[in-house]
Amino acid sequence: MSFSWSRRFAAWDRSPVVGTTLVGITLFAAGAVTYWAGGTRSAFPHLFYIPVLIGSYYFGPAGGVAVGLTAGAICGPYMPLDTAAGIPQPATGWFIRMVFFCGVGLCAGALILSLRRRIEDLRRHNEEVVRAFVRALDAKDRYTSRHSEKVAEYAEGIARQMNLPPEVQERVRWAALLHDVGKLAVPSAILNKPGRLEPSEWAIIKQHPVESERIFSGVAHFRPLLPAIRHHHERMDGRGYPDGLKGDQVPLEARILAVADSFDAMTSARAYREPMSEEAALKELEKGAGTQFDPVVVAAMIRWRRSVAHLPAAGENPASEGSA
Ligand SMILES: [Fe+2]
């Protein structure tokens, strides 16, 4: 997970179109420069290693070998040893060069493939560790089993429904996974208290977004998540916490988290009440649109849940379904 230039680079560094274009341009350039520089007697045939490495990077070992064969052919029988004198190169010259191009393409492609597999393993490992960590947190509060993972699923669904860029969707998902980690600083007796909380206990609970932010502020990788984490209990009317931000002052990712968080809270059992149905929870979100929640985010949540959970559309009477 990264959120800056490396993310933008990642968007096109796997594109076959970009890879094929770069290989084509550099093959043409290497061939033209080698020919005009005097032929294969010059040092310029080494330029062909550039498209070979690009081919390996984009298409792995097979791509490296394919570009190596193409480079060997371009710099092969029709490329003179000496352009000005019109001296052809011997067959052994271009054949050995082609073998080198293919060998370098094969080795570089294999190394890049292995590196990518390692990176994917690390990414998966990273996510599994974070999930284990948040499960441990959720286990602290017996009424919020899998809360963080469910909020992450809902928040990502809303972000996708809103057509937000993939990097924002991923940021929302990670922020949702980690948003309540600050509850580690809240005593279990307060978290699990079945009755009404005293004002002093509420004051402690209200500090958990700040604690979550403080815990992750030392992790450079998670810094872009901090605004969403800190402000996930803000409200559109400014009556939320910890900073009482209002309207657009609340970061978009935090507004998404607020809706996802409340939806899971309403549809999960508590000591003092049964879980609400999804449809009832969506109606509650609708009631809070504009005051507690961002109406655009609520609308996206409703559209998404109705599409994935096959809930009835607005105005539709579920009781009439299937009746004669
Ligand atoms: Fe929270």
Q: Quick one: which of 152, 154, 93, 151 has its CA closest to 305? A: 154
Ligand 1 centre to CA of 80 (Å) is 72
**pLDDT at position 6:** 52
To the query of whether residue 183 is one of the catalytic residues in this protein, the response is yes
Angle at 237 between CA 264 and CA 262, to 5 degrees: 0
- pLDDT digits 0-9 by tens, 204-250: 999 999 999 999 998 988 999 999 999 999 999 999 999 999 999 99
Q: Cβ neighbours of residue 75 under 8 Å, at least 6 residues apart? A: 30, 31, 34, 40, 45, 48, 94, 97, 98
Give CA–CA dist 298/225, Å, rounded.
21
How many degrees, rounded to 5, is the angle at CA 264 between CA 285 and CA 195? 95
What spacing in Å lies between the alpha carbon of 257 and ligand 1's midpoint?
9
Q: Which CATH architecture has domain 143-311?
A: Orthogonal Bundle (1.10)
CA–centroid distance, 148 to ligand 1, in Å, is 9
Q: 0.75 exceeded by the pTM? A: no
What's the sign of the alpha-carbon dihedral 291, 293, 297, 301?
negative
pLDDT of residue 168: 93
Q: Answer positive or negative: Cα dihedral of 314, 315, 320, 324.
A: negative
Half-sphere exposure of 145 (CA within 13 A, CB side): 6
Domain assignments of the chain as residue spans, ordered by start: 12-117, 143-311
pLDDT, tens digit, 9 for 90 and up, residues 278-313: 999 999 999 999 999 999 999 999 999 988 876 555
CA 125 to ligand 1 center in whole angstroms: 26
pLDDT, block means (10 residues), the chain with 324 residues: 51 82 96 93 94 96 96 91 88 93 97 95 91 82 77 96 93 94 88 84 94 92 94 97 95 97 90 84 96 97 86 47 32
Output the pLDDT for position 142: 62
Ligand 1 centroid – CA 179 distance (Å): 6
Identify the active-site residue in 140, 150, 183, 287: 183
